[in-house]
Structure 1
Amino acid sequence: MTMTDTERPAITPAFQHVSAVRKAKNLTATVLVWLSFLIAVVPLVWVLYTVIEAGITRIPYTNWWSQDFGDVLSDEVGGGVLHGIIGTLLQGLLCAVIAVPLGILVAIYLVEYGRGTKLARVTTFMVDILSGVPSIVAALFIYALWITTFGFPRSGFAVSLALVLLMVPVVVRSTEEMLRIVPDDLREASYALGVPKWKTIMKVVLPTALSGIVSGVMMALARVMGETAPLLVLVGYSGYVNWNMFSGEMAALPLVMNNERVSNPIGEGTVGFDRIWGAALTLVLIIALINLAATVIAKLVAPKTK
């Protein structure tokens, strides 16, 4: 025998009455959250507006993207930052080629093989220390090791080595977090089918976490591309395009800004002012494109759900 709807006991709905105190607390928390959000956003919008307003005068010109400063006098209107763009991209790309595999392999060891081991604890401690190392310290270390001890010349490759020290801990941390959120059920299901651990990592764990790993890598790359200290210590400024990472002076967008600050007056309306803010806006646009590419790639490689 089953009860009809009229015979079933009525279910008392939850939260029939919300007290005034709870409503006040909820309103206070909501206001504080929105206020904190606005406090964080206002400086960001202010900085972005300032960079766009001051740097937009040079961006629309074609020669800004297709020429360098090699044949232009320091105080002469004209030229472009092609040499800085190429230097920034080359140094960042070489840094990523070294740092990304190294960081991902370290993260795989920490999550998949070294849980609870003494070596994993030491590695985690060293990664934490490395993540707090200032960029100038990383640059001085590479200068002492690569240039002073080994005798190699100052070059774009030395800059990339310093950037590797700054990028590796970010890649390790982001990849480690992405691997940890992969459900253990997927690993156990793969092991139950007789799949070796290394193949489980390659075919199951990494593809599942790949979208987050890509986003973390792109964010780390965008972060190191704006560093200035390694450029000042490890390579000299060149107004010409230099494709050789192992020899000769090489420009980068942060180095272009510093050179213009030193060699030209930077009052509003001057050549130096326009070049500095134009290079700053160019760097912001490149980083924005990298972040956009990270978002698109992460969506493309994310696991498909029905």
Structure 2
Amino acid sequence: MSDIRAYDARPEAEFGDYVALLKPRVMSLVVFTAFVGLAVAPVHLNPFVAVCSILFIALGGGASGALNMWYESDIDAVMRRTARRPIPSGRVSRGEALGVGLFLAGLSVMMLGLAANWFAAAFLAFTIFFYAVVYTIWLKRSTPQNIVIGGAAGAFPPMIGWACATGGISTESLLMFALVFFWTPPHFWALALFMKDDYSKAGVPMLTVTHGRAATRRHILAYTLVLAPFALWLGLTSVGGPIYMAVAVVMNALFIAGGWRILHRSEDAAVADGYKAERSFFKLSLYYTFLHFAALLVQHVAGGM
């Protein structure tokens, strides 16, 4: 009887709650970078096959998000920015999230193999495994390098898009991977600078928790300096050109300047102005990847014209 009452008391899930399980905002970056990787590849892909490929990559990204929410529901429940997600809010059960994640993972891999090629499908399967198991289950709660190593999962989509068109890997796709991979740590560490209490409360060993904010500031600048050469190198490949290079030069100069500004701020000054510089750097990081990949797309269209 108590189980029935508990079930009756649970808020009724709506369609939007199941969509939220797929982390649509994160999926949007996955879809866009995968689309650019596919579009700029030197092999023309049938438009219908291309659309299907992006759809199944998106489903694979959604599967990763659902599996992540399934495993991290206890963490999400104690963090302010995640407490209203479908599982901690009680609208979706952990079992439902696991079922959705596993179903979409299998469906996306199988359908991508049939639509594009099995190399791309295997790459997608590995990416889902890497995000759900290597990052979420293993790294997230065990090391402050969680976001560094785990960031590879978010960097694979442009390589998968490229593989859908070409059936393989190239220097261009590896550099697109590097662009997202080295961008991820400063992006998330900037967020952690003004969200440290959440990670500490949840027991997540983010760099700000284990090494402090001063060390995190140094790491942010270091990664912006490592990132810039890879971003510029991509502009010298077959997918680059003057349009991309102009965007890359400006954005990386701004990114390095932002990292430098963050490094030289005292904690007292940051607290006094509500982490204004750190929040500005985080917002800049949201535009950074989008503008680089958008520039690749514009460069490709301009080259074709």
TM norm. shorter chain > 0.5? no
- Per residue, is there more helix in 1 or in 2? 2
Greater relative contact order (Cα < 8 A, sep 6+):
1
Structure possessing the higher radius of gyration over alpha carbons: 1
TM-score normalised to structure 1 length: 0.30
